Structure 1
Amino acid sequence: MSTHTTPENLEKIIPQAEDFLPLLGTDYVELYVGNAKQAAYYYQTAWGFEPIAYAGLETGLKDRVSYVLQQDRIRLVLTSPLQPDGAINQHINAHGDGVKVVALWVDDATKSYEETVKRGAKSYFEPRTDSDQNGKVVTSGIHTYGETVHIFVERKNYNGVFLPGYTKWTKPYKTESTGLKYIDHMVGNVGWNEMNKWCEFYAKVMGFAQLVSFDDKDISTEYTALMSKVMSNGNGRIKFPINEPAEGRKKSQIEEYIDFYNGAGVQHMALATDNIIETVSSLKARGVDFLTVPSSYYDTVLDRVGEIDEELEPLKELGILIDRDDEGYLLQIFTKPVLDRPTMFFEIIQRKGAQSFGKGNFKALFEAIEREQEERGTL
C-alpha cells in the first residue's frame, strides 16, 4: 500500500463500534528520543527499517530534528530537541525515550477533530494545512492518556515522501527487511483505576468498541496482577489494549512502567509478520533481546492449542509462544525493554486466523517479565 492511497477494504467488522470518524489505519508513531540520529541507526540496523525522510537544520528547523523510517506499512518518526528547553526536552526528562504521537490516517482531519472534540476530547492543536510542491496535508490533534496524543493525518492530496517540511532521506547502505508488515495493536499502560475511564474515552470520543476484557484472574501470577481491556475501531485496523495495575503481593510490570515512565504511556507496539520464525531469527541475529520462557512450556503447549502448521522445535529454540481461540491460532514473542528505562518494548505477532491476544500465554509471559524485574531489583 502506498502512503497516500485509500485502502479498498474498510468494511466494518466490529458491529458494536460507532465508527463515526472513520480511521483508515495507523499513519505513523513518533517517539521523542535523546539522540534521534543514533536511534535511527538502531532501528535500521537491528530492525530492518528503511530511511525515508528527514527534517532538521538543513530543512529550516531550528528547535528539533526528525528521522522517518519505514518497513512495509509501519512508519516510525524519531525526534530529538536541538535546544535546551521546550516541550520535547521536558518529555524526555520526565519519561525517557518514549512514544509521544500515535498518528491516525483519516480521510478528513477537520471532521475527525470536530467530531472528537465535541464528544469531550481535549484539543492538542486545531486543524491546519501544510503544503509544498507535492501537495497539501491537513492535520489536527487531541490528547489521550498521559502525555500521549493522537494526530489525525489527511494526506489524500499529497504525494510527497512523508509530510511537507520533510526532505527525502536515503543512506548508501541498504538494510535488509526483517519481514515486519504493520502495527497489529498498541498497548497503553494507565494508572490505578484509570482503565475504564480511558476505555470510555475511546468508546465515547472515538467511536471504538470493547473487543475483550481480562481481569486479575486472567492475568496474574503468584506475585503480580493487572487488568486489561481491548478497544477497537470498526474496521479493526486500530486496536488499543489498555492496561491498569491490580493488587498483587509484589510490584507488577504496569507499576514498574508507571514508576519509570512517570505516568501513563504506550507500553508496547505489536508488529505483525507473515513468518515469525524468519523475523525473530533475523532480529536475534542482529542483537535484539527477547524474553524467554522455561522449556517446560513446550512440553504441554500442543495439548492446549492443538495442531499447528509449524514445527515445534524452531519455535522452542526461539522462545515463541502459541495460543488458540475459536478462529485459529497465533504465534507471539516479546522483546525485553528496548530503552534504558524498563518501559517500552515490542511484540512480534503472526496471526493464523486468531483474533485474540494470547490469553493462554499470560502466565508464562508475566513470570518471564518478573524474572527480569527481579534482576532489576524492581519486583
Structure 2
Amino acid sequence: MEFDHIHFYVENAIESRDWFREKLGFKAIASQTSQHTQKEIINRGKVYFALSSAITPESPVANFLSLHPPGVADVAFRVRDINSVVAKAAVNGAEILQPIQENLQGLKWAKISGWGDLTHTLIEKIDDAQILNSTSELSQDLVAIDHVVLNVAEDNLGSAFNWYHQILDFQPHQNFDIQTNKSSLRSLVMIHPEGGVKFPINEPTSTNSQIQEFLDANRGAGIQHIALRTENILGVVGELRSLGLPFLQVPETYYSSLQNKALSYLSETDWQKVQDCQILIDWQERIPGAMLLQIFTQPIFNEPTVFFEFIERKVVWVNGKKIETPGFGQGNFQALFEAIEREQMKRGSLGKN
C-alpha cells in the first residue's frame, strides 16, 4: 500500500490552487468541473493533491463544509489487489461509498468510509500509474507523502486503530505519550505491512490538549497534518520561506541543548543551516548515523486545524544495505508538541488544566 493523493474540500478551489502555487510551489496540472463541484489537481514532485469546492448545494463538498471547516476529506491509497481490499473492508464493516470502477486504460478505483467523516479512495496500482498523474515532468524535491496524521476524540484511539486494523490491515508500530506541565496527548503510529504507509493517530489526554483544540475547531475527528518527504529539506525550506510560507518557531534553547550531539553528525556549516531554517533534528539510536530532519508549518486554513510537515529521512548504510531512517523521533514529537503549545498560548486557548 502507498499514498496516492490527498483530497481537500475547500471554499474556493481556484483560490486554494493559487495559494498552493504561490506558497508551496505546486503546479496546476488539471481542472475538472461537474454540475455541482469544481476540482483542481495540483502536484509538486511526486506529491498530488485535489482541491474541490461546491458550485451548488448538491455538491458533497457543501455537505462536508456544513459539518466541518475546510480540510482533508479523503486520503487515497494505492493497493495491489483492489478486489480483495474492498471485499475485506465490506466484510469488516466499512461502507462502500463507491463500488469498484474501471476506466478504458484498465485503472480501477473505489471509495470506502474511514474514521468519522473521512473517506478513503482505493486505487489499484498499475505500473506506478496514479489516477491523478497527468504529467511526466516531475520536480523531485518532494518525493512522497511520508505520513498522514489523524486526530480522534479522547478514548477513541484504540477503537480507531481497531477499525483500520480490521478494514485495511494496518499494524501498530510506535506509541508515544507526550506531555508538558500544561497539556498532553497519546499517539499510536500505524504502519501497513505492504509498502510501509505510516498513519499515526492522536487522541487528547487533557482537556486543553492541542488535539482537543483541533477537535473543537474541526467539529470532530479529522486529519491534523500531512508530512511531505524530501531529500533536500534545507533547500526546500529555504525556498518556501522565501515564498512567505509561515512555519512554527523553535526557541534557541532547543538547539543549544543538541549542539554537542549534532556536531558529531553534521558539519558546522550544515548545523548552522539547520538552526537558520529552524528545523528539528532527531536520531534513531539503534541505527548509527540515522537522522530525522523535520519542520512544521502554521495551520493553512483560518482555523487551527490542518498543517504541513516537511521531513527528510537520512539514508545510512548498515551491513552493506541502504536504509532510510525509519519511524518517528521522540525528541521531535516533544518539540512539535511544545511548539504548538506556544501557538495555543498566543491564541489564548491553553488555559489551566
Shared topology, TM-score over 0.5? yes
Partner of 2:180: 221
The Cα shift of 1:194 comes to 0.6
1:137 to 107, 112, 116: 107
The answer to whether the 8 A contact 1:110-1:138 is kept is no
Amino acid at match of 1:233: H
Instruction: Provide, for residues 31-54 of structure 1, a one-character-per-residue CA deviation record: whole Å limited to 9, x for no partner.
Output: 001010011111122212122222
Give me the whole-angstrom Cα distance separating, in 2, the residues matched to 1:158 and 1:203.
Answer: 25
Residue 241 (structure 2) pairs with residue 308 (structure 1): no
* Equivalent position amino acid for 1:300 in 2: S
Name structure 2 gaps, 5 residues minimum: 315-323
Secondary structure of the structure 1 residue equivalent to 2:111:
strand
Q: CA deviation at 1:378?
A: 1.6
Task: Give the equivalent residue in structure 2 for 1:50.
Answer: 27
| Distance in 1 separating the partners of 2:125 and 2:17 | 24
> How far 1:84 sits from its partner (Å)?
2.9
User: Is the 2:36–2:58 contact (alpha carbons within 8 Å) kept by the matching residues of 1?
Assistant: no
1:52, 1:161 within 8 Å by CA — same for their partners in 2? Answer: no
Q: Pick the aligned partner of 2:309 from 347, 350, 359.
A: 347
1:255 equivalent to 2:212? Answer yes
Change in 2 beyond 3 A, CA 1:306/1:191: farther
Work out the number of aligned pairs and report it: 336
Q: Distance in 1 between matches of 2:173 and 2:129?
A: 35
Shift of the alpha carbon at 1:236? 4.2
CA distance in 2, matches of 1:85, 1:192: 33
1:320 equivalent to 2:291? Answer: no
Which of 206, 221, 240 is matched with 2:199 structurally?
A: 240
State the match for 1:336 in structure 2. 298
1:151 aligns with 2:121: yes
Q: 2:3 pairs with 10, 14, 26, which one? A: 26
After superposition, the C-alpha distances for 1:334-374 in whole angstroms (9 at most, x for unaligned) are 11101111000001100114312121123332222112112
**What displacement does 1:121 show?**
2.1
Per-residue deviation, 1:139:
1.5
Q: CA contact under 8 A between 1:190 and 1:258: conserved in structure 2? A: yes
1:212 matched to 2:182: no
The code of the aligned residue for 1:285 comes to: S
Distance 1:117 1:161, change over 3 A: closer
Aligned residues of 1:178 and 1:282 also touching (Cα < 8 A)? no
Matched residues in 2 for 1:374 and 1:238: separation? 33
Distance of 2:313 and 2:128 partners within structure 1? 33
Which residue does 1:363 correspond to in 2? 334
Percent identity between the two aligned chains = 33
Determine the C-alpha separation between the residues in 2 that align with 1:269 and 1:204. Answer: 23
CA–CA separation in structure 2 for the residues paired with 1:255 and 1:339:
17
For residues 38 and 136 of structure 1, the distance between their equivalents in structure 2, rounded to whole angstroms, comes to: 33
Alpha-carbon distance in structure 1 between the residues aligned to 2:115 and 2:239 = 34
Q: 2: CA distance between counterparts of 1:101 and 1:29?
A: 6
Question: Which residue does 2:189 correspond to in 1?
Answer: 230
| SS state at 1:180 partner | coil
1: CA distance between counterparts of 2:127 and 2:102?
11
Contact conserved, 2:149 with 2:226, CA < 8 A, in 1? Answer: yes
What secondary structure is seen at the aligned counterpart in 2 of 1:46? helix
Question: What is aligned with 2:320?
Answer: none
Where does residue 5 of structure 1 map in the other structure? none
Aligned partners of 1:122, 1:184: CA distance in 2, in Å? 26
- How many angstroms does 1:129 deviate by? 2.7
Partner Cα distance (1:337, 1:103) in 2: 22
Q: Give the residue type in structure 2 aligned to 1:221.
A: T
1:109 alignment partner, one of 82, 98, 110: 82
Counterpart position of 1:8: none
Answer whether contact 2:190 2:200 (CA < 8 A) is retained. Answer: yes
> 228, 248, 251: which one pairs with 1:271?
228
Distance 1:27 1:40 in 2: 18
Distance 2:129 2:89 in 1: 27
Per the alignment, residue 319 of structure 2 pairs with none
Shift of 1:159: 7.1
* 1:50-100 Cα shifts (integer Å, max 9, x gaps): 2222211xxxx1110111111222110001110034431121232211111
Query: Equivalent residue for 1:98?
Result: 71
